[in-house]
Structure 1
Amino acid sequence: MTIWIVWGIVLAIVAWMGYNYLRIRRAAKIVDNAEFEALIRKGQLIDVREPAEFHRKHILGARNIPSNQLKSSLAALRKDKPVLLYENQRGQGVTNAALYLKKQGFSEIYILSYGLDSWNGKVKTS
């Protein structure tokens, strides 16, 4: 009986992870370093981490809009330009930001695969 409960929990977790993966894939395109760097020139580069993390290190040209402040900063973003999102690793912050932006009518949303930790382009450090 206990084994069935464990398997049920494991199955529920896997199903939840699959559901979240499909949701984010519908909202945004996950891209590698090369594609992300090519998009920077024509897009809006947004770092969704907290300000302290942003000031320590960020991609050159990025604006800091923490994911929990995105709603109040929405007017600063243009819907006619691609939005490029990143954080340290691809986590809940970029996921929430991408889903929210999609819901608000943004159509071109890109996420840096593996986040800033894997970025090999230009950065600004303090």
Structure 2
Amino acid sequence: MKTFVLVGVVLGILFVFVKKIQSKGDKQMVQEWIQAGAVVVDVRTKSEFSEGHFPGAINIPVDVLPTELGSLKNKDSKIIVYCRSGARSERAKQILTAKGYSSVINAGGLSDMPNSR
């Protein structure tokens, strides 16, 4: 039993460490994609968007994303999605990927986005 607990703790620590490494790489990729003209989509609600958003972002709330795909015409475009914490943007990424969009990054929350464009 102690071995299982120890293995669980070690795996948990490794998971957190790997996620931190991945997030640093993703932030750099997000910055590169923004500089290359990626479409930035804020998938929060309209009221959240009106309270503040990333410059140049378009607002397509995740709940209406499947019916608003016409706003994202080119399925080969680089698309960056973000929300408040990263959960809704992960859902948005899954929706877009399932619909054939080939280059989608979940940037996480608004606070994870680069400071300037």
TM-score relative to the length of structure 1: 0.65
| Structure 1 outlier segments of 4+, above 4 Å | none
| Residue segments in structure 1 that go unaligned for 5+ positions in a row | 1-28
2: CA distance between counterparts of 1:88 and 1:39?
20
1:82 counterpart (70, 78, 85): 78
The structure-2 alpha-carbon separation of the partners of 1:31 and 1:61, relative to structure 1 and needing over 3 Å to count, comes to farther
For residue 38 of structure 1, report the CA deviation from its aligned partner. 1.9
CA RMSD, aligned part only?
A: 2.2
Among all aligned residue pairs of Structure 1 and Structure 2, give the percentage whose two residues are the same amino acid. Answer: 27
1: CA distance between counterparts of 2:30 and 2:67?
25
Q: Which structure exhibits the higher relative contact order, with contacts defined as CA atoms closer than 8 Å and separated by 6 or more residues?
A: 1
Residues 26-63 of structure 1: CA deviation (Å, up to 9, x unaligned) = xxx99543321221242111000001111111000000
| Residue segments in structure 2 that go unaligned for 5+ positions in a row | 1-22
TM-score relative to the length of structure 2: 0.70
Partner of 1:61: 56
What secondary structure, in the 3-state scheme, does the structure 1 residue paired with 2:70 have?
helix
2: CA distance between counterparts of 1:88 and 1:105?
25
